[in-house]
A = this chain, B = another copy of it.
Amino acid sequence: MTKLTAHDLAKKQKEISVAEFFERNKHILGFGNATRALVTSIKEGVDNSLDSCEEVNILPEIYVEIKNHEDGECKIIVEDNGPGIVTKQIPHIFGRLLYGSRFHAIRQSRGQQGIGISAVILYGQLTTGKHAKIISKVQQDRPAVVMELAIDTNKNRAEVINRETVHWDKPSGTRVEISIIADYKRGKRFVYDYLQSTSIVNPHAQITYKDAEGEEYLFERTAEATPKKSCEIKPHPYGVELGTLIKMAKNTKARKLSTFLKTEFSSMGDRTTNAVCEKADLDRNANPKEMKREEFLALHRAFKKVKIMAPSTDCLSPISETLIRRSLKHETKEISPEFIITASRPASVYSGNPFQTEVGLVYGGTLPRDKPVQLMRFANRVPLLYQQGGCVITSAISSIDWRRYGFEQPSGKGMPSGPAIFLTHVSSTQIPFTSESKEAIADIPEIENEIKLAFRECARKVQHHIHKKVRRKKTREKFDLITKILPEIAKKSANMIDKPIPSLDAVITKIMDIVWIEDLIEYEKVSRQPVQTTIIPDKESDNTRSEGTITKSKIMVVNYKHNSQKFNLYALIPKDAVVGSVEPKPAKIANNYIKWNLGTIPPANKVDVSFELAGLEKGDFDENDLYVENINPAFVIGADKWEGD
């Protein structure tokens, strides 16, 4: 064998086009097999449609169709009523990988890579050799453009095959038609599941789906308002990488360090900026372009040493606990679950990217007890259907010891088994997906931690719930005994000795020796709204909140102790509910609770407490969460110790 040298090897070293790379590695984009390719293609189309509608504040109306030809070929059609795409951008958006509008903006959106839809076109031409067809209309009074295009993978550029204009009976919108090789028979179930899950977390979207057999499905809109639009923000100093900081300083227009910090980062006011400069021992007026690596290093370290306000969460658009609860309730009707619990975390930051976690837990009913819990994963309102094993959501859940919450879990690690559905939604300006196919979230410690904290809170609530139920049941038995048998004995005894029946209050309170709190929730329809309409609690639609359903909570506090009691009562309320009339007059109405300073309750007396909530649907709030203060909670049944806000 002749010995090769570095010069021989150099002849083979050359550039790889990004399109060529992904053509070869199509599984990275979610096209690993013909089943998944079908779902991925639809998903990329629908995600794009939802994003573009939301960007211009249009209520999305999306039409999805699959036409199944022979030999495993499918034509995928996704059409929307969004703003359309200007003609000269069509070849870039659809015919190039790594091109888009959402990559450089820091705010929550579904697409963020500029790969999705062009990847579908790449996959389509790779497997069928056919061109993609794009129809776009950007203005009511102008015709639509129809473009047929292919991707030149050596150059990562579009090849426009044909272009014409047509009349399109729509104010504006985009329609893509792409032929791909796909396994329709196996994939159709996943397409339905994906669209249904999408509809759950996007109640403002209407999705019509026509399958290859011609069957039409309608996923109805249940909310008439688009979600609060996520705003674009600047990077947050916590977690910004040193290299990024240096790069930003090189490119800034600011001539002073203080201006640079205040204009190019979020949460940097005058005071924080001064504090950072001081900690870093840097001149506020230094020119950022002339600073040295060591100075940036000092600045970078100073960021971590100064308390900087968390980034604004305007850039995020979480689903909300109420909506998660409602979706879960709706989706699990047939299971008749024992309870549904939700938890959400405040926004947090990883590598300068804000993110927020919301979780839900459905327990009991007819869910199987010996199977692993079902997992529903969402990221930026997009369902994640594959790669569950490689997702941080799975590893976060697996690291919690679920055995003490009534789940089976060998050695206290791994996915627990039990009658439950776990839902997780992570929203972020930048979801760290493990790959370009966006099917799993990478194991970023900050995110794993937040998911764990959210589920721990859920788990505590589960424990609390079970505990409360057991205690109440036990006391109830005692209570029934006393209130039925004691009066009977008293009556008989009185009769026997021919005396009036004595008051048993003192005896009962002596035996019971507790404060008993019982509650009831009722719903009342308000007639001004048509019955079918669903109102989504949303900060932007406050004016509609007082209509629809009124949730009425009635609480009865009975003092079964032998001396008078005087204490404070707290009732938790959903953050997005509007509080109506409250009886008696509360001491405080906070964002998420109502507080009463209850007057003195003599032994064997009771006090009625009630409040009304608007902005919720029937069943959104179906269980009171009550707490007491200034009384030993061991003597209270139906409420726990108030631990502070």
Question: A-side interface residues toward B, CB under 8 Å?
Answer: 1, 3-10, 12-18, 20-21, 23-25, 27-28, 32-33, 52, 55-57, 71, 83-86, 88-89, 92-93, 96, 98-101, 103-105, 113-114, 125-130, 136, 138-139, 153, 172, 181, 241-247, 293, 296-297, 301, 370-372, 387-391, 394-395, 410-411, 414, 417, 430, 432-436, 440, 442-445
Assess A126 versus B242: contact at CB under 8 Å? Given A15-B98, A16-B99: yes
Check A114 against B57 for contact (C-beta < 8 Å): no
In the bound complex, do residue B242 and residue A411 qualify as a contact, i.e. CB atoms below 8 Å apart? no
In the complex, are the beta carbons of B9 and A57 less than 8 A apart?
A: no
Given A98-B18, A442-B32: A4 and B83 interface contact (C-beta under 8 Å): yes
A387 CA to B89 CA in the complex, in Å?
38
Is there contact, CB below 8 Å, between A390 and B434? Answer: yes
Are A5 and B56 in contact, with the CB atoms below 8 A? yes
Interfacial chain B residues near A241, Cβ < 8 Å: 126-127
Known: A98-B15, A138-B7. A430 touches B244 (CB 8 A): no
Q: How many monomers of this chain does the complex have?
A: 2
In the complex, the answer to whether B14 meets A130 with C-beta atoms within 8 Å is: no
A243 B125 Cβ-Cβ under 8 A: yes
* Given A56-B5, A247-B153, A296:B390 Cβ within 8 A: no
Contacts of A445 in B (CB 8 A): 33
Q: How far is the CB of A101 from chain B (nearest CB, A)?
A: 4
Q: Which residues of B contact A99 (CB under 8 A)?
A: 13-16
Given the contacts A52-B9, A297-B129, A28 and B436 also touching, CB distance less than 8 Å: yes
**11 A-B contact pairs sorted by A residue (CB < 8 Å):** A5-B83, A10-B85, A15-B98, A16-B100, A18-B98, A21-B98, A23-B244, A27-B444, A126-B241, A126-B242, A435-B436
Tell me which residues across on chain B come within 8 A of A20, comparing CB atoms. 103
| Contact in complex: B114, A3 (CB < 8 Å) | no
* Chain B residues in 8 Å Cβ range of A71: 301
**B5-A101 in contact (CB<8A):** no
Beta-carbon contact of B435 and A103 below 8 Å: no
Beyond A293-B130, A417-B410, whether A86 also contacts B10 by CB under 8 A is: yes
- Whether the Cβ atoms of B12 and A105 lie closer than 8 Å is yes
Q: Are B444 and A101 in contact (CB under 8 A)?
A: no
- Give the contacting residue for A389; candidates B13, B56, B153, B394; CB below 8 A: B394
Q: A27-B444, A103-B16, A103-B21 are in contact. Are A129 and B246 (CB under 8 A)?
A: yes
- Structural contact, A243 and B127, CB atoms closer than 8 A: yes
Cβ-neighbour of A411 out of B8, B21, B370 (below 8 A): B370
Partner of A24, one of B23, B103, B372: B103
* Set of chain B residues within 8 Å of A14, measured between Cβ atoms: 99-101, 104
Chain B residues closer than 8 Å to A17, beta-carbon distance: 98
Beyond the given A6-B172, A435-B435, please list 10 additional residue pairs across the A-B interface where CB-CB is below 8 A.
Answer: A3-B56, A3-B57, A4-B55, A15-B96, A21-B103, A28-B434, A28-B436, A71-B301, A387-B390, A410-B417
A397 → B minimal CB distance (Å):
12
Given contacts A6-B86, A12-B104, A126-B242, contact A113 B390 (CB under 8 A): no
Q: Is the CB of B21 within 8 A of A128?
A: no
